[in-house]
């Protein structure tokens, strides 16, 4: 029995061994085939990787390769009107040596968004173009805040060699208008994938160069730029020329800052906003008139009836006037002291700065009294007008405090220039006469300059390495510059005047 079991067991072991050998042989064969497939796949993957890397390097090399096409010259003339409209004329000469411009010429203009400083978004209109002197078709498309002006090539594309593109258009709402100044920051040349060998921009102001303006030009990118352009002052503008070629994806950029008051919005386009900007005192005048009309109407309704001889003045108005008088008087006298005595003794002052910061405990009551003074005076006028409309006699005001309050309130509104000029006319130029003349030259204060020269200040006064005449020319205050030349200022000591045509031609002679 045992032998029989052993025999059966041996047979089963032999069959299992034979089956295992067969399975192992099959597994080895499959493994060899799999290894071969893996090896083949690995080789294919390596080949694809090499091809991909080589292709990327090839495309990168092609992309980074310097195109032989280029912009030979980019000349822009921008006429800036007093309505802040830019009339732009561009003349671009391209060299289409390797066919980069075969598909046409694309001028890309950035659309500035509306903001607190820009009432409406920037816009471009009235496009006209010529290619080699012939009228050209224009197609404008807008995407992601960029206006693409496409000038298509005729036929099968532009031929090799040079071509001249003339493009003109009108740009609006490009200025950023702030409280006391306004800025014009403009990418003149645009962003191109090729080199610009030479670029120029000329800003022309038909109404004359804005006084106290600051204009500069730079080349480079938004993050890296340099002020390396050659500047030439023109009779009614300024011209900038690059001193080197502009690499691809860099630009010629203009930055200008102007004092408020020169530019005026277009009434036809901006409505009442333009009217108020052109006449800055109109809105305060309307506000005063409307306030007086409303108060007079109230006083008319409150005036007593049936008492034809009633002339008593309201006691509360008298209290308001008397309460506002001391603080308003102190406020007016302090400002007058800073603008006269302190100015003559210590030089130009930041009027009200010391009072506001060092004596805040006095400044706030003074300011409150000054505000109450306006209310009190308005009440006096409206009550008097309301009584008159009722046919009643004029109220018996205590006119001494009323007139005093009116005088002190008016003194606060006298301009600093008037105080300074009057003080110098009465007391002479004092120890700071030279600095006052430099101030007059920089800010275009002709009456102050005339007073200083009449009081004996030299027209060749110098400070900071520049003469007053040089400062007047660099600030484009030509009326002051002409006056200084008439009084004997030497134009040879004013290098900034040599580029101002009306002065350099006449040498100051009128």
Mind spelling out the 3-state secondary structure of 99-128? Answer: CCCCCCEEEEEECCCCCCCCCCCCEEEEEE
Nearby residues of 355 by Cβ (< 8 Å), 6 or more positions away: 334, 335, 338, 362, 363, 366
Give pLDDT, residue 328. Answer: 95
Confidence of residue 17 (pLDDT cuts 50, 70, 90): low
Q: For residues 292 and 247, which has the higher predicted lDDT (pLDDT)?
A: 247
Confidence of residue 336 (pLDDT cuts 50, 70, 90): very high
269: closest CA among 490, 36, 85, 487? 85
Quote the CA–CA distance of 498 and 491 in Å, as a whole number.
8
Delimit the domains of the chain by residue range: 1-65, 70-268, 281-414, 417-506
Confidence of residue 274 (pLDDT cuts 50, 70, 90): low
Q: 451-464 burial, b if ≥16 CB within 10 A, otherwise e? A: bbbeeebbbbbeee
For the stretch 147-190, pLDDT in tens is: 999 988 766 667 888 999 999 999 999 999 887 889 999 999 99
For the stretch 458-473, pLDDT in tens is: 999 888 888 999 888 8
Quote the CA–CA distance of 260 and 210 in Å, as a whole number.
10
* 3 state SS of 179: coil
Pairing assessment for the beta strands 70-80 and 199-204 based on DSSP bridges: parallel
DSSP notation for 74-93: EEEEEEE-TTS-EEEEEEEE
Task: Please state, as a whole number, how many other Cβ atoms lie within 10 Å of the Cβ of residue 164.
Answer: 14
Quote the CA–CA distance of 255 and 238 in Å, as a whole number.
12
Mean pLDDT, residues 321-344 taken together: 94
Confidence of residue 47 (pLDDT cuts 50, 70, 90): low
The CATH code for residues 70-268 is 2.60.40.1730
Quote the CA–CA distance of 149 and 152 in Å, as a whole number.
10
pLDDT of residue 41 exceeding 90, the answer is no
Least confident of 32-41, 114-123, 151-160, 219-228: 32-41
Give pLDDT, residue 495. Answer: 83
Most confident residue range from 139-148, 261-270, 324-333? 324-333
Confidence of residue 396 (pLDDT cuts 50, 70, 90): confident
Fold of 417-506: 1.25.40
- CB of 500 closer than 8 Å to CB of 481: yes
89: closest CA among 27, 187, 10, 166? 166
The model's pTM is 0.61
Give pLDDT, residue 505. Answer: 47
pLDDT of residue 205 exceeding 80, the answer is yes
For the stretch 100-114, pLDDT in tens is: 888 889 999 999 999
Quote the CA–CA distance of 90 and 124 in Å, as a whole number.
14
Nearby residues of 31 by Cβ (< 8 Å), 6 or more positions away: none
What is the SS3 assignment for 469-495?
A: HHHHHHCCCHHHHHHHHHCCCCHHHCH
């Amino acid at each position: 029995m045992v032998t029989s079991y052993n025999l059966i067991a041996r047979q089963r072991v032999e069959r299992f061994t034979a089956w295992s050998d067969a399975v192992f042989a099959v597994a080895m064969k499959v493994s060899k085939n799999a290894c071969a497939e893996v090896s083949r796949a690995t080789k294919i993957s390596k080949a694809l990787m090499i091809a991909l890397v080589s292709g990327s390097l090839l495309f990168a090399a092609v992309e980074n390769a310097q195109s032989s096409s280029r912009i030979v010259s980019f000349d822009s003339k921008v006429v800036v009107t007093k309505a802040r409209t830019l009339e732009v004329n561009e003349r671009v000469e391209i060299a289409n040596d390797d066919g980069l411009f075969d598909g046409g010429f694309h001028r890309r203009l950035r659309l500035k968004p509306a903001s607190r400083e820009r009432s409406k978004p920037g816009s471009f209109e009235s496009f006209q173009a010529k290619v080699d002197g012939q009228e050209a078709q224009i197609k404008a498309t807008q995407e992601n805040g960029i206006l693409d002006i496409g000038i298509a090539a005729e036929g099968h594309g532009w031929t090799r060699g040079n071509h001249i593109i003339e493009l003109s258009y009108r740009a609006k709402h490009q200025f950023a208008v702030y409280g006391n100044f306004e800025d014009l920051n403009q990418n003149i040349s645009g962003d191109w994938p090729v080199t610009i060998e030479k670029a120029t921009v000329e800003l022309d102001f038909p109404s004359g160069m804005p006084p106290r303006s600051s204009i500069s030009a730079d080349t480079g990118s938004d993050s890296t730029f340099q002020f390396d352009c050659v500047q030439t002052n023109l009779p009614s503008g300024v011209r900038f020329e690059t001193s080197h070629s502009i690499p691809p994806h860099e630009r010629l950029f203009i930055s200008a800052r102007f004092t408020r008051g020169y530019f005026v919005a277009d009434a036809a386009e901006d409505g009442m906003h333009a009217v108020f900007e052109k006449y800055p005192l109109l809105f305060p005048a309307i506000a005063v008139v409307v306030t007086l009309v409303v108060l007079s109407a109230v006083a008319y309704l409150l005036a007593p009836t049936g008492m034809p001889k009633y002339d008593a003045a309201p006691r509360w108005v008298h209290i308001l006037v008397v309460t506002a008088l001391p603080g308003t008087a102190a406020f007016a006298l302090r400002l007058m002291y800073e603008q006269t005595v302190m100015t003559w003794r210590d030089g130009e002052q930041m009027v009200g700065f010391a009072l506001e910061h060092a004596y805040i405990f006095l400044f706030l009551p003074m300011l409150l009294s000054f505000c109450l003074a306006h209310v009190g005076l308005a009440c006096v006028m409206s009550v008097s007008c309301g009584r008159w409309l009722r046919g009643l006699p004029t109220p018996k005001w205590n006119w001494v405090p009323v007139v005093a309050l009116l005088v002190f309130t008016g003194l606060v509104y006298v301009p600093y220039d008037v105080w300074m000029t009057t003080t110098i006319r009465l007391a002479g130029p004092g120890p700071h006469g030279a600095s006052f003349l430099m101030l007059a030259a920089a800010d275009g204060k002709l009456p102050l300059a005339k007073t200083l020269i009449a009081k004996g200040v030299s027209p060749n006064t110098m400070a900071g390495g520049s003469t007053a005449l040089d400062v007047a020319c660099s600030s484009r205050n030509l009326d002051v510059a002409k006056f200084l030349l008439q009084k004997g200022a030497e134009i040879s000591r004013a290098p900034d005047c040599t580029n101002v045509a009306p002065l350099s031609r006449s040498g100051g002679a009128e």
